[in-house]
Chain A
């Protein structure tokens, strides 16, 4: 009996992927777990292993094609008998709603996951495309209420992930699945060709995801920004000396670990910036952990891996970890776990020579700290002109949560630490 391999839901809001190439041909005999194809899922490339042993009778897509979660990719014949399952034929779930159906609680009598939710709430979950098995219920005995479902739909709790070859995906923090709803309505576009030649380029999966995320972040949090510069002349000397000491360990010590430490010290004094606003419950979720997202520019676009427990790691440990994480992220091999759980984000446009820029907050965090390129500049010190190295800093923050004064005080604290390496050492 022919069997189909359908593109599974691997979580993190991934709804489709692009086929890069097949590793097998029609007619090939394959073993279970043998890689069938290379695909691009959002910001990462992954291999798809075969769930069956059997003969490939049909490959349903060509390299370059895009397909949604649930689409039949390969048809197999013969091979091991699988226990009969209800099939959905060629129907490919177009939207998250259908994906959520499959993950929903099955009747308890058949031994399904025991999820407590009234029939009305189950329906609401289906309407919003929410997977009940991943929602935390706040009702009695952990029952999931309508409010729980609605909150989840807004924030987008993590999906149960399924393995797809290497666990490489790319999704940052809690990605809103309904971000499309947040975009404002637009008027139709004119035909640009009337004014000159144009070329149309399809947006990659990564680009589309970034577009959704940025739109949601900007249209949810009223953004304000605080900008300043830190005199890192002393810090630079310190850094260079430290770099010499760890040269033989192959560790590249940049400014970033210092800024991370200073930021965390600041966050401990100004905890509202290491938080999330829970609108549904009108509560500020203060995080007692310090996981910093570090924005990495890759070929595919912006990806933000997270370094955990920055407060508990030494500068050198951070530098070493950063090196590995950044190169893995650029290669598209960041692990799913590395891309989630951040409480605050740092972004370094200075790496490509930028000075000041207003970032968009990494929703649902409260603030994002950007650093520009450090430059030598003339400044006035004690009445004289001196040449100092200045590091531009710009922080965007959610004005619903903190006011300008709070944000500026945080930044001042960070700057104070960056301007005094000994103090940074002592406090951070």
Chain B
């Protein structure tokens, strides 16, 4: 202990104030614990609120509106000169973030959660050092690590110029580059690429694997890819970036395609979106018995306890999928476990959404995954172009697919691509958690005319009973 160092006790310390951390902190406080929340940034909310989910959705909504206005011509809406003031957009986005951050602050205060702004590192299995200007030490009964993740770099490529951005900088929307090169065709690259494409940039996407959105069903990706091409987004698949150089206000990028073919691309800005890595290197975890895997993810049990019994870990640090809603659920599980409740992270599924337009949303198993597991399946597919509401929205691209176990009709997975599917997938998640059968979805009356009917119709299609599409009847 250093002279002048303040030593304190805490019942529960949460390290990180993002969706995982604040959910854990608030839940623990509601369950009667004294909670200290240590956040390295100036405000609560984490990556999600400040540099991720929220700003990206704000920008996506605004820029998508531009598209919709243009497409509304067919409805008789005449808008000859629609322009966008990037500054104003940025300010509005900032306002949204501020409002939410303030809300979190107030929630923390009302619950008596003490928020300390500083960086925490472990100095033992029950002690933390906090550097917040005045170095202090905190002894805790339980701790929850929720330090999140940060963007990965492309190995061998230095990010030494302002012109080479990660998602963080891209969301700040400093300007609209004439040409934007996106390295990485995953959901972050495509979402941000969409934003800039709609704002007027010429966007090129370079993806290492054989398809955009690797890991997502091909047929879903195809619908999105078509839409991206309509925005003149150039896509290079099976392409790897081998070199990058900034010169004269431009970025020169060397790309290697399969069969060794080399490609030289030029852009005004580059966005690197090749994945994220957990923030676990500088926490002082070596001072504890916490076990990490080779990628830095912390190993946890079903209550999110690490190998150190008093320390839990939630969110991006525990592994894939690195999504805010998974973090939130884990945060609550850890808090409830600390409070002695019989809780476990035993969810059947963690849904995922891609906010391109059209959107992609899915949960549970894909058809391929179910079959690979040896399951006989029934699949029902319903296209949005057959749905009344979709036509009145002037958004007819995409479909909903329901995969069920052929024997018991239990729903195994749902795949969606189309308008507003991010808001439709919740029902499918509930169906999976409850072990619902096709009948449960099809018997439930979905209001008309809404997009939600597409899920029920897809389930009906799996039963060979769809009304709004014609299926050659299979008589058993």
Residue of A nearest to B370 (CB): A108
**Alpha-carbon gap, A363 to B299, bound state (A):** 42
**Alpha-carbon gap, A306 to B59, bound state (A):** 71
Closest CB of chain A to B239's CB: distance in Å? 29
A241 within 8 A of B: no
**Pairwise interchain contact A108-B364, C-beta atoms closer than 8 A:** yes
B282 within 8 A of A: no
A352 within 8 A of B: no
Residues of B within 8 A of A101 (CB): 301-303, 344
**Alpha-carbon gap, A104 to B373, bound state (A):** 19
A105 within 8 A of B: yes
**Alpha-carbon gap, A97 to B349, bound state (A):** 23
B208 within 8 A of A: no
Residues of A within 8 A of B343 (CB): 123, 126
**Alpha-carbon gap, A272 to B388, bound state (A):** 62
The segment from B4-12, B48-56, B64-72, B306-314 that touches chain A is B306-314
**Pairwise interchain contact A91-B364, C-beta atoms closer than 8 A:** no
**Pairwise interchain contact B299-A118, C-beta atoms closer than 8 A:** no
Residues of A within 8 A of B294 (CB): 84
A143 within 8 A of B: yes
A117 within 8 A of B: yes
Closest CB of chain B to A349's CB: distance in Å? 43
**Pairwise interchain contact B365-A89, C-beta atoms closer than 8 A:** no
**Pairwise interchain contact A140-B346, C-beta atoms closer than 8 A:** no
Q: Which of B225-241 contact A (CB under 8 A)?
A: none
**Pairwise interchain contact B301-A141, C-beta atoms closer than 8 A:** no
A250 within 8 A of B: no
> Interface majority SS on A: helix, strand, loop or mixed?
loop
**Alpha-carbon gap, A208 to B441, bound state (A):** 50
Instruction: Fill in one digit per residue for A105-120: 1 if any B CB lies within 8 Å of its CB, else 0.
Output: 1111101000011110
Closest CB of chain A to B216's CB: distance in Å? 14
The interface centre, meaning the residue of A90, A97, A101 with most chain B CB atoms within 10 A of its CB, is A101
Closest CB of chain A to B127's CB: distance in Å? 17
Closest CB of chain B to A79's CB: distance in Å? 17
Instruction: Fill in one digit per residue for B273-311: 1 if any A CB lies within 8 Å of its CB, else 0.
Output: 000000000000000010101100001111101111100
**Pairwise interchain contact B342-A88, C-beta atoms closer than 8 A:** no
**Alpha-carbon gap, A70 to B305, bound state (A):** 15
With A107-B349, A118-B435 as known contacts, state yes or no: A141 contacts B344, CB within 8 Å.
Answer: no
7 A-B pairs with least C-beta separation:
A116-B435, A126-B342, A89-B307, A141-B408, A91-B309, A86-B299, A88-B301
25 contacts between A and B (CB under 8 A): A84-B294, A85-B299, A86-B299, A86-B300, A87-B291, A87-B307, A89-B305, A89-B306, A89-B309, A91-B305, A101-B302, A102-B302, A104-B346, A107-B347, A107-B348, A109-B365, A116-B435, A117-B435, A119-B434, A122-B346, A140-B437, A141-B408, A141-B409, A141-B410, A141-B437
B: which residues have CB within 8 A of A? 289, 291, 293-294, 299-303, 305-309, 342-344, 346-350, 364-365, 369, 373, 408-410, 412, 432-435, 437
Beyond A86-B299, A101-B301, A118-B433, 18 extra complex contacts between A and B, CB < 8 Å: A84-B291, A87-B299, A87-B307, A89-B305, A89-B307, A105-B348, A106-B346, A107-B346, A107-B349, A108-B432, A109-B350, A117-B435, A122-B346, A123-B342, A126-B342, A127-B342, A141-B408, A141-B437
